[in-house]
Structure 1
Amino acid sequence: MTIPTLLRRASATALILALPSLALAQQGAAPAAPAAQPAAPAPGPDAVVAKVNGQPITGADLALAAEDPALSLPGVDEAAKQNLLIDYMVDLKVGAQAAEAAKVGDSPEFKRKLAYFRDKLLLDDYLERETKKSVTPEAAKALYDQTVKSMKPEEEVRARHILVENEDEAKKIAARVKGGEDFAKIAAEVSKDPGSKTEGGDLGFFTKDRMVKPFADAAFKLSPGQVSDPVKTQFGWHVLRVEEKRTKPVPTFDEMKEQIDQYLTRKAQQDTIIKLREAAKVERTGATPAAPAATPPAGETKKP
């Protein structure tokens, strides 16, 4: 569930205050015992972990605070994290009680903010609930099967290259390679491509559309083991050697699952909003600013 920005600002402040204390405590801590002690279980939702002027803080409150991205504490053990969350909730309650006493919540501006964040939280939870109906294992598998079925076979090439600044240098390198010298060794010595020279110029497998046209044309014309003549691109001059050719393998369901779930989630949320808007009576008042008139692109005349 999304945490309102209003609370995130407070969370960030609490972390600024809490983390130095944690760092000092860790610096002064004794060396860890050889056998790690099992972490204490998190308090139950109804367990009262602290009280502020008689107002309880429960395990459910801590669980909600732990969902706040601003309170993410990687590398902090669970016990220390629980203590930080309790400290944060104490600060939150103290501040909220002071704000209540000062009647901050009675101002029209505060009420507008509260209404906005209530609507946002309601929408977030509603979309989450509705999305679960669409993002199912069956829907994911059906989308995977449909996607794989529509994929056309694509040829891939695995090639090495050496990048230099001028044609003369490229011709000398091509002659060396064709004369029997080790391509990977020459690439490591002279290539200007920092991303591949440490790998002996190896670019891995790629489809034709992944590379600039002169490079791709040269690579896909070669047979495995062949070395190209110098090829010019906007990056410089290249000498290529094709290592392998194959039909691009179809990705497995596990490899695509995350993308599929993200697509199904976005689509379900979008479909839900569209359906709700279609069923709603929406009236824009005269107070709404008019949209600016479309301006034709430069060089084009507007049709009558």
Structure 2
Amino acid sequence: MARSASPFTGVRRAALVLSFCATALTPALAQTPAPAPAPAPAQAPAKATNKVLATVNGSDITELDVAQAREDVGSTLPKQMNDAARDKALLDYVIDLKLVTQKAITEKMDQTPDFQKKMIYYREKLLMEGYLGQVAKDSTTDAAMKATYDEAAKAQKPEIEIHALHILVPTEDEAKTVEKRLKAGEDFGKLADELSKDPGSKGGDLGWFTKDRMVPEFADAAYKLEPGQVSDPVKTQFGWHVIKVLDKRTKPFPPMDQVKDQLERFVAQRAQSEAILKLREAAKITRTDEPKADEAKPDAAKPAEAPKK
């Protein structure tokens, strides 16, 4: 209850703000939680071939066509579908696609100016995605990711974090009662389970946290304690707390394999951004939406007209 924000707010913010320096990556890597156990890898589908699965008015539909549809719309199918049902749904989709396309061609919809413009746009979009995908693949080498990780680890500033327990109660009198029972020798964790109004901490355990993750009154009191010490009652916006510090340490930097996915995204996005910037710098770009020099002058710079009589 004493937390002022989600423990990983800094992670999400750092992931959104893509910087070209490793220091921007540091908080993201340093605060990433341990990943959940990876699910068992799914069996890879057999490589698609030119085997014909259906014909529509004499036009063949092959495994390659269905594989392309799977890449495009496969993720929209219900997850509970088994492989056979998924394959059937994708084939039905491609059959319908072929039927509607044939009808649209008979209506000469492919010959309209609007269609031609869209063809040009989507061709360029596919080429852009293909090129940037290759840039990302080429950039995410083991050496590049290791260098970025090492730079981020080196840039991390030492920061103390503590491991603490707390008991949260509504009133000061209740907090003083907690304090007395603790001094009488009762177990902190058992007392927390019995009395604490914080449903998010079993046995009052808050885990490891840095000072910025707690509201100021709580953080100030907790950071003044040494391991093993218990605080006097502390008032915050959530109620009254009694705090016990278990340990203190310098916040460790996470191992590389724990943040590999995030590190790979960072390196790839940085490489893509740099590639686009280089293309812009080498190109001659003229924008017609930018005001001309004389149009950019403010009205105040124009000579005042004489008042009309």
TM-score (normalised: structure 1): 0.75
Question: Is residue 62 of structure 2 the alignment partner of residue 58 of structure 1?
Answer: yes
**Aligned partners of 1:137 and 1:52: how far apart in 2?**
47
Deviation (angstroms), 1:75: 3.2
Matched residue SS, 2:90 = helix
| Letter of the 1:250 counterpart | F
Structure 1 contact 40–79 (Cα < 8 Å) conserved: no
Structure 1: tracts of 5 or more residues without a match? 1-38, 294-304
| Letter of the 1:181 counterpart | E
Structure 2 contact 221–231 (Cα < 8 Å) conserved: yes
| Letter of the 1:223 counterpart | E
What per-residue deviation string (whole Å, max 9, x for no partner) do you get for residues 107-126 of structure 1?
A: 33333333222221111111
**Aligned partners of 2:45 and 2:272: how far apart in 1?**
35
What per-residue deviation string (whole Å, max 9, x for no partner) do you get for residues 119-168 of structure 1?
A: 21111111011222211111001111111122233222111111222222
Distance verdict in 2 for CA 1:86–1:117, change over 3 Å:
same
**Aligned partners of 1:41 and 1:224: how far apart in 2?**
55
Aligned pairs for 1:113-124 (under 5 A) are 113-124=118-129
Greater shift, 72-81 or 51-60, is seen at 72-81
Tell me what 1:187 maps to: 192
What per-residue deviation string (whole Å, max 9, x for no partner) do you get for residues 276-302 of structure 1?
A: 1122222122599x99x9xxxxxxxxx
Deviation (angstroms), 1:41: 6.2
Question: Is residue 160 of structure 2 the alignment partner of residue 155 of structure 1?
Answer: yes
Structure 1 contact 66–72 (Cα < 8 Å) conserved: no
**Aligned partners of 1:223 and 1:161: how far apart in 2?**
15
Structure 1 contact 162–187 (Cα < 8 Å) conserved: yes
Question: Is residue 192 of structure 2 the alignment partner of residue 215 of structure 1?
Answer: no
TM-score (normalised: structure 2): 0.74
Tell me what 1:145 maps to: 150
Tell me what 1:79 maps to: 84
Structure 1 contact 160–201 (Cα < 8 Å) conserved: yes
Matched residue SS, 2:81 = coil
Question: Of residues 229, 232, 241 in structure 1, which corresponds to 2:232?
Answer: 229
Question: Is residue 71 of structure 2 the alignment partner of residue 67 of structure 1?
Answer: yes
Matched residue SS, 1:232 = strand
| Letter of the 2:79 counterpart | P
Question: Of residues 247, 255, 260 in structure 2, which corresponds to 1:257?
Answer: 260
Structure 2 contact 48–67 (Cα < 8 Å) conserved: no
Deviation (angstroms), 1:43: 6.2
Tell me what 2:14 maps to: none
Matched residue SS, 2:157 = coil
Structure 2: tracts of 5 or more residues without a match? 1-42, 299-309
| Letter of the 1:270 counterpart | S
Aligned length in residues: 252
Distance verdict in 2 for CA 1:221–1:131, change over 3 Å:
same
Matched residue SS, 1:68 = helix
Question: Of residues 102, 120, 131 in structure 2, which corresponds to 1:97?
Answer: 102
| Letter of the 1:211 counterpart | M
**Aligned partners of 1:184 and 1:167: how far apart in 2?**
20
Identity of aligned residues (%): 53
Distance verdict in 2 for CA 1:287–1:208, change over 3 Å:
closer
**Aligned partners of 1:178 and 1:270: how far apart in 2?**
60
Question: Of residues 284, 290, 295 in structure 2, which corresponds to 1:281?
Answer: 284
**Aligned partners of 1:115 and 1:161: how far apart in 2?**
62
With CA pairs under 8 Å and 6+ residues apart, which has the higher RCO, 1 or 2? 2
**Aligned partners of 2:129 and 2:94: how far apart in 1?**
23
Structure 1 contact 49–59 (Cα < 8 Å) conserved: yes
Question: Of residues 95, 106, 112 in structure 2, which corresponds to 1:107?
Answer: 112
Aligned pairs for 1:289-300 (under 5 A) are none
